[in-house]
Amino acid sequence: MTLRRFLLLAGLLLILFLGMYSWNQQTRLLDDLTTKLGLEATGAVLSPLDSLMGQGKELWYKYVDLVNVREENIHLKQQIEILKDRLLAHAEDLAELKRLRELVQLPEVTGWKLLGARVLAGRMGPNAVLDSITINRGYVTGGRPGTPLRTHQGLVGRILKASAHSAIALLLTDPGSHIAVITQESRAPGILVGRGMNRQLEVNFVRRDTKVTSGEILVTSGLDGKYPKGIPVARIVHAAPSDYTQFMAITAEPLVDLQHIEEVLLLEPTGLASYMMNQNDAPLDFVGPPPPRTITP
């Protein structure tokens, strides 16, 4: 092959590749195809392996590694007693909250269903450039793109792409992750942005005059429409007025140890919401404004 022919062929292939790349960016057909086939195949391989490893671990922890179990049991029983006490103390507050909500007719949105999922892997392969995890739920089993993920400790991220039975979730530490948050005590809104794994998060657009303190918890504000309101996300590490902008310079750390998560909870939107109503009223099924009151002459 002469040099001229080689260059012509290389140029032709490059044009073909660029054409395919831009066509895919518009249609996402090839991305969908690889997600549906490639990710599904990966999940099909990893799920049995994960299950096998889980059984092995269970066997070890349940029947072999039983050192200090008695002491741990005594300690846990004590903790249960303490928590029972705390629950009792909060029960009165909860009842009061319910009465007050009813009094001001504040709608209580409960349109999220919790679904458990197992983490199959972290970043996989050379093309995993974003901070992500792979889970064993796909669009058939409740893991649709956009579904938020959390653990009992706090928010993890949301699903980026999904095949039928597996999905890849973007973690909140990724620089592409932007979450609308609010500080738990001072109620100052802001946007939480990731800066990469092992680096602290950044909270942008918090007003200078707000009294934000280190150690305060950031919870989702729900204003972005991506996450339900009130999920704990991160703890503020440092807060001071910025030297360069008109906002506060705030750094935070995630509440969840994102490098060692094994299970997550998916918050599947059900499209349902319950409102505080009289017990005799028929239940409302769909999210939307409350029904108009009957006009009495």
Residues in contact with another protein by the rule CB under 8 A = 13, 17, 20-21, 24-25, 30-31, 33-42, 45-46, 49, 120-130, 132, 134, 160-161, 163, 168, 170, 175-176, 196
Minimum CB separation from another protein for residue 127, in Å? 2
Nearer to another protein (CB atom), residue 210 or residue 251:
251
Nearer to another protein (CB atom), residue 201 or residue 255:
201
Torsional sign, CA 93, 94, 95, 100 = positive
Q: Report d(CA 266, CA 145) in Å as an integer.
A: 11
Nearer to another protein (CB atom), residue 120 or residue 180:
120
Q: Are 173 and 254 in contact (CB under 8 A)?
A: yes
Nearer to another protein (CB atom), residue 46 or residue 217:
46
Nearer to another protein (CB atom), residue 38 or residue 228:
38
Minimum CB separation from another protein for residue 197, in Å? 10
Minimum CB separation from another protein for residue 271, in Å? 28
Minimum CB separation from another protein for residue 288, in Å? 35
Minimum CB separation from another protein for residue 84, in Å? 41
Nearer to another protein (CB atom), residue 74 or residue 129:
129
Residue partners of 120: CB distance under 8 A and separation at least 6: 43, 46, 47, 50, 133, 134, 135, 136, 166
Q: Are 269 and 111 in contact (CB under 8 A)?
A: yes
Nearer to another protein (CB atom), residue 128 or residue 272:
128
Minimum CB separation from another protein for residue 239, in Å? 25
Minimum CB separation from another protein for residue 269, in Å? 23
Beta strands 248-254 and 201-204, pairing class: antiparallel
